[in-house]
């Protein structure tokens, strides 16, 4: 029934688009051939089955003067496409089949091509920014990271802060962050654009290769706090700019005069045309205005900006500027205000959690039904782009649990939680991507330490009795009923592990390079490759199966247990379509990132069987005292084939990521030349798309795998969880970070259907155990797999009987 309704809507869309496009006027506009036009029509109709709406929009686009549709036109058209799909499909089919914002935006881009317009011109802030405004707006679309530096460093130096100074340190840090945010963004932009333009200038020169990894070299020495060589009155953005300029001066010392002049001219043009737009795009001095299908980022004037504090269950607002100015608030005034907050006796607590987990599409309608007083107070909170929650959260629980504390209602960019030992930063994906959000967390931690040391030197703070504005946020019974009836975000559980043998992975990478210089596998390549192996081979622990079966005997739990057992049956969907965020900012900061969906071709590689065969052959050779030459030759052939497969995978994955960053065509011809590849792999390469299509990848991806990498040696970042887009088809979110001690921490957010069903029957704990079992099996299996490959690569003809490689 679902497929019939979807097909009917798609067919109607095809007919309507054809009727419009077969007019002579539109044929003249399109730069596509007739077969190409027909192909695009069918693809658009399949992805966005919206009846006659696409044809109406196409006619309007054709009538536009010039090539660039205005941003108002783009948002109007996209919203019309959403409505068209909603009208063409009933709610059940819409939720089960339609791919959401990625499908609509992809369809709109292809419609632009049909009338000869450039899709990139319709999205001046980049496709990703437009996408996140529509598709990463819910509470589950926030990622989080954690730092320990504040308490670790203060404890190391025996600095014991009073609560008033602990809070004041973070309030002042946030105030100065907001005042300096444009400068922080300018640094981000300069570092990327200056290096990229330098690489463009030297492209084709004999020494061009030495500039290829320049940005990576800068990342390794980029400061996140003021160094000992900074001057007393120097801000962090000024210090970082100084360090970068020294770095770049040294890197560009061999530039010729003409090259340097060309470079400077390119920089000046980019600075005038691109920098102000980038600062507007990425500023957190904004609040989110929810609409039915997307969010509008609305700027907040600096003079009206506040810092939100949550303490003893109440919200407070402290101005970020001195009265009547845009000068940062005075630290002594802020300290007194915090003391006044702490002096308020405990009273009735306020909670906005029910609003935070309400779907954003419903919030816009709810606001119209709220009392004027409540709406006014919610609007007051919008002036706080950052909320600081000092109601201590538990430290030793998953980050996704830590972030479930009081956190506003989704209109702001950042919430910071205090655990008493660490600070957790909960960030909206509309404003932050994972790596940049983690970097800001470290910057804020360093600045807060500096403020703490200063505040510790002052006499004790005293309240002066002046009340700090605290919105009542009293939600009436009627309003509670309205909120309870509104749709909510997908329920989740999560798990974490620090059991990955990273040292073993690094040893294996070096060993493989020594065996075959063509094997250039990164740590993340191995994690992703094994994720595909894990998806196809996972078996739940016997204890978990026993508990599920025992729970199934309870009548009320049977439907939830049935769905959970189906989720554990990996034979239903052995191939994992993994969405991997690829950093696009070094080439173009406004593009932020390109999400790449990657399906490891396990069957084509025959990797599972090959792994079993090579390890069995190794054991036969190792244990046998006879026919050792023949047994070794058999093992050697399998070993060479396995190493060739690993070399191919590393090269192929590297090329795919390059395509995702550049958007340019890729040549798979050189990859095909790698020896010993199965015939199935050749067919896979023949079918691989020759051009990266971000939105198509977003539609296909079923889980997110985000690795923010190894932090700087001086960083105190220790945990990270990734965000999930609002498409319910995205069910798993893998987050990976490696701390300064070389410990890799893997997190897994689980949004599969059984999570909500088990939660609703009071067994959320069982859902959490399912997720932990799945993650633990991944980590154990990864370590075993890495060890197997290492043993296989070390084996040699001269091994003695029973000798372990």
HEC string of 106-148 equals: HHHHHHHHHCCCCHHHHCCCCHHHHHHHHHCCCHHHEEEEEEC
- What are the angstrom distances between the C-alpha of 765 and each of 271, 639, 756? 53, 44, 12
Strands (E), 611-755: 703-710, 717-721, 732-738, 744-750
Instruction: Give yes or no for a contact between 726 and 101, defined as CB atoms under 8 angstroms apart.
Output: yes
CA distance 477 to 480: 5
pLDDT score of 797: 60
pLDDT score of 525: 94
Instruction: Give yes or no for a contact between 143 and 434, defined as CB atoms under 8 angstroms apart.
Output: yes
pLDDT score of 110: 85
Find the helix or strand (DSSP H, E) in which 388 lies.
strand 386-389
Question: Which residues is 50 bridged to in the sheet?
Answer: none
Residues 6+ apart with CB under 8 A from 174: 307, 320, 386, 388, 416, 444
Question: Token pair 């770095």 is at which residue?
Answer: 247
Parts of the chain with a pLDDT under 70: 1-3, 23-30, 65-67, 91-99, 570-576, 662-700, 797-805
Q: Which two tokens stand for residue 96?
A: 């089960």
pLDDT score of 696: 58
CA distance 593 to 660: 9
Q: Coil, strand, or helix at residue 708?
A: strand
Instruction: Give yes or no for a contact between 445 and 147, defined as CB atoms under 8 angstroms apart.
Output: yes
Measure the CA dihedral 501/502/508/514, to 10°.
Answer: -160
Residues 6+ apart with CB under 8 A from 72: none
CA distance 169 to 191: 29
pLDDT score of 669: 37
Find the helix or strand (DSSP H, E) in which 151 lies.
helix 149-156
Pairing of strands 717-721, 732-738: unpaired
pLDDT score of 657: 81
Q: Coil, strand, or helix at residue 416?
A: strand
673-707 per-position pLDDT tens digit = 444 445 555 454 444 444 445 555 556 678 999 99
CA 459 to chain centre: 44
DSSP letter at 345 equals P
CA distance 803 to 473: 71
CA distance 661 to 544: 42
Residue (of 747, 774, 772) closest to 144 by Cα position = 747
pLDDT score of 598: 79
CA distance 765 to 229: 51
CA distance 790 to 347: 61
CA distance 785 to 805: 15
pLDDT score of 668: 36
pLDDT score of 25: 60
pLDDT score of 615: 95
Q: Coil, strand, or helix at residue 180?
A: coil
């Amino acid at each position: 029934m679902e497929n019939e309704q979807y097909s009917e809507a798609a067919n109607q869309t095809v007919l309507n688009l054809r009727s419009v496009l077969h007019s002579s006027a539109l044929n003249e506009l399109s730069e596509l051939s007739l077969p190409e036009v027909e192909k695009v029509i069918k693809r658009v109709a399949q992805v966005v089955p919206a009846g006659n709406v696409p044809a109406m929009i196409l006619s309007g686009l054709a009538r536009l003067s010039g090539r660039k549709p205005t941003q108002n036109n783009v948002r109007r058209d996209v919203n019309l496409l959403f409505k068209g799909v909603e009208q063409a499909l009933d709610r059940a089919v819409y939720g089960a089949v339609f791919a959401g914002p990625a499908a609509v935006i992809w369809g709109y881009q292809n419609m632009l091509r049909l009338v000869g317009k450039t899709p990139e011109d319709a999205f001046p802030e980049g496709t990703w920014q437009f996408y996140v405004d529509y598709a990463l707006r819910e509470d589950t679309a926030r990622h989080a990271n954690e730092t320990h530096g504040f308490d670790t460093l203060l404890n190391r130096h025996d600095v014991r802060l009073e609560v008033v100074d602990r809070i004041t340190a973070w309030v002042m840090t946030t105030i100065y962050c907001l005042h300096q945010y444009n400068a922080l963004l300018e640094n981000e932009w300069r570092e990327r654009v200056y290096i990229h333009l330098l690489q463009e200038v030297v492209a084709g020169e004999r020494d061009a290769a030495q500039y290829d990894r320049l940005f990576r070299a800068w990342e390794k020495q980029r400061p996140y706090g003021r160094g000992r060589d900074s001057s007393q009155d120097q801000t962090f953005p000024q210090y970082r700019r100084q360090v970068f300029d020294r770095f770049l001066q040294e890197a560009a010392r061999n530039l010729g005069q003409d090259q340097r002049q060309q470079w400077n001219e390119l920089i000046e043009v980019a600075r005038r045309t691109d920098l102000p737009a980038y600062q507007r795009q990425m500023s957190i001095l904004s609040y989110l205005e929810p609409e039915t299908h997307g969010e509008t980022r609305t700027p907040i004037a600096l003079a009206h900006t506040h810092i939100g504090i949550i303490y003893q269950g109440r919200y407070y607002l402290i101005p970020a500027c001195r009265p009547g100015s845009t000068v940062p608030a005075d630290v002594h005034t802020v300290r007194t205000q915090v003391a006044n907050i702490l002096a308020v006796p405990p009273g009735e607590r306020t909670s906005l959690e029910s609003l935070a987990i309400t779907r954003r599409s419903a919030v816009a309608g709810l606001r119209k039904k709220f009392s004027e007083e409540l709406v006014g107070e919610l609007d007051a909170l919008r002036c706080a782009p950052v909320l600081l929650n000092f109601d201590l959260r538990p430290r030793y629980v998953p980050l996704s649990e830590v972030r479930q504390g009081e956190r506003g209602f989704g209109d702001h960019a950042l919430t910071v939680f205090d655990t008493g030992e660490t600070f957790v930063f909960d960030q909206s994906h509309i404003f932050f991507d994972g790596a940049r959000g983690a970097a800001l967390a470290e910057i804020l931690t360093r600045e807060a330490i500096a403020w703490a040391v200063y505040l510790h030197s002052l006499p004790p703070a005293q309240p002066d009795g002046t009340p700090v504005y605290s919105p009542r946020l009293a939600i009436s019974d009627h309003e509670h009923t309205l909120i309870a009836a509104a749709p909510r975000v997908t329920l989740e559980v999560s798990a974490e592990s620090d059991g990955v043998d990273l040292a073993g992975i690094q040893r294996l990478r070096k060993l493989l390079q020594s065996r075959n210089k063509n094997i250039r596998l990164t740590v993340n390549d191995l994690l992703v490759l094994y994720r595909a192996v894990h998806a196809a081979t996972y078996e739940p622990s016997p204890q978990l199966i026993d508990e599920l079966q025992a729970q199934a005997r309870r009548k009320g739990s049977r439907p939830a247990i049935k769905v959970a057992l189906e989720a554990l049956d990996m034979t239903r969907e052995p191939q994992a379509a993994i969405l991997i965020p690829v950093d696009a900012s070094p080439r173009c900061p406004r593009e932020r990132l390109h999400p790449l969906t990657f399906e490891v071709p396990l069957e084509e590689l025959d990797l599972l069987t090959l792994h079993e065969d090579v390890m069995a052959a190794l054991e036969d050779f190792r244990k046998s005292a006879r026919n050792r030459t023949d047994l070794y030759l058999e093992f050697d052939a399998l070993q060479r084939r396995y190493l060739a497969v690993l070399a191919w995978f590393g090269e192929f994955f590297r090329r795919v990521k390059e395509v995702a960053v550049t958007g340019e065509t890729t040549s798979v011809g050189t990859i095909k030349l790698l020896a010993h590849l199965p015939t199935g792999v050749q067919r896979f390469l023949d079918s691989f798309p020759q051009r990266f299509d971000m939105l198509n990848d977003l539609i296909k991806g079923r889980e997110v795998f985000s690795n923010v990498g190894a932090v700087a040696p001086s960083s105190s970042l220790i945990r990270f969880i990734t965000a999930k887009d609002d498409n319910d088809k995205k069910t798993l979110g893998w987050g990976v970070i490696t701390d300064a001690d070389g410990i890799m921490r893997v997190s897994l957010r689980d949004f599969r259907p059984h999570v909500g069903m088990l939660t609703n029957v009071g067994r959320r704990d069982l859902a959490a155990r399912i997720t932990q079992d799945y993650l633990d099996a991944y980590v154990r299996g990864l370590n075993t797999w890495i060890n197997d490959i290492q043993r296989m690569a070390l084996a040699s003809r001269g091994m003695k009987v029973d000798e372990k490689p």
